[in-house]
Amino acid sequence: MNFYGLFGESLVHSFSPSLHKMIYQKIGMDAAYKLFAFPPSQLKSAIDGIQTLSIKGVNVTIPYKEAVMPYLDEIDPFAKKLGAVNTIENVNGKLIGHNTDYSGFGLIINRRNWDVKGKTAVVLGSGGAAKTVEAYLIDHGIKQLYIASRTPERFEDTKNKRYTNYEEAEKLSGDYLINTTPIGMYPNVKDSPLSETSIQRFDYLIDLIYNPSETAFLKLGQKNNKQTANGLDMLVGQAIRAVEIWGNCSIDEQITEQLLSEWKGRQGESL
């Protein structure tokens, strides 16, 4: 049996073990998946533990998607371009970083037949997940992109991308409003990254949080008749791609749809 897991600082919200168990059962993979929660000061020790304990691979979540990169032996070109790693593969003691969030975010957009080409988007957050969302939107023709950060001065604006603070973000309008921050995540489920007044100025709301399935942010969107999506499709999509990397295999799209249907049925969600 091979062992896999998830690295993060606070993982009480994570559905990953149950989801990975379903994937392994679907494809007949002899594997187990565990949670590894630890503070930032123990990151290097945790990375060393992958090799010491012969863990075959791990996923990486907040706040380590960028921080893990200096400790890896190799980073695939795509993850290097994105500037974030969410999947680590252990190949005979060599640790290789990948990014599967990109395809996971794409699943949110594609399953709803939404189009980002020529649109304006505001992304809340500037961490590893935000970088992935930013890359996807630019690759798929977004016209104008605003990224809200607590420290916008750290970043450089480009022709169609501008960094701003949250106070200014409250005044923006556009087509897509995307939350990549942990604001609203369990147990702080009453928090929203922006006010209802701001939310009213957008048509589509995406929250990468999946627990709770309906955040305060998305509830405000639904109250104002906006189209909304949480992060469950992204969770499933990135998990499947991670398993494909670890197992050197290809998982049929039909299995992806089965997993989404069964998982959302368990959570009481509609497709």
**Token pair of 193, please?**
């990254």
The closest alpha carbon to 185, from 22, 39, 57, 9, belongs to 9
Give me the helix-helix angle, 232-247 and 16-27, nearest 10°: 50
> CA 26 to CA 162: how far, in whole Å?
43
Q: Rounded to an integer, what distance in angstroms lies between the CA atom of residue 97 and that of residue 73? A: 8
Which token pair is 185? Answer: 């995540």
**CA neighbor of 148 nearest in space, from 175, 118, 171:** 171
Three-state SS at 258? helix
8 Å CB contact between 64 and 9: yes
Tell me which H or E stretch contains 34: strand 31-37
State the distance between the two ends of the chain, measured CA to CA, in whole angstroms: 33
With a CB cutoff of 8 Å and minimum separation 6, the contacts of 163 are 126, 146, 147, 148, 149, 152, 155, 156, 157
Q: Rounded distance, CA 182 to CA 13, Å?
A: 11
Tokens representing residue 192 in the block: 């929203």
Q: Which amino acid is at 122?
A: V
The residue annotated as part of the active site, out of 21, 26, 56, 65, is 65
143 is catalytic: no
Nearest one of 174, 79, 82 to 124, comparing CA atoms: 174
The residues annotated as belonging to the active site are 65
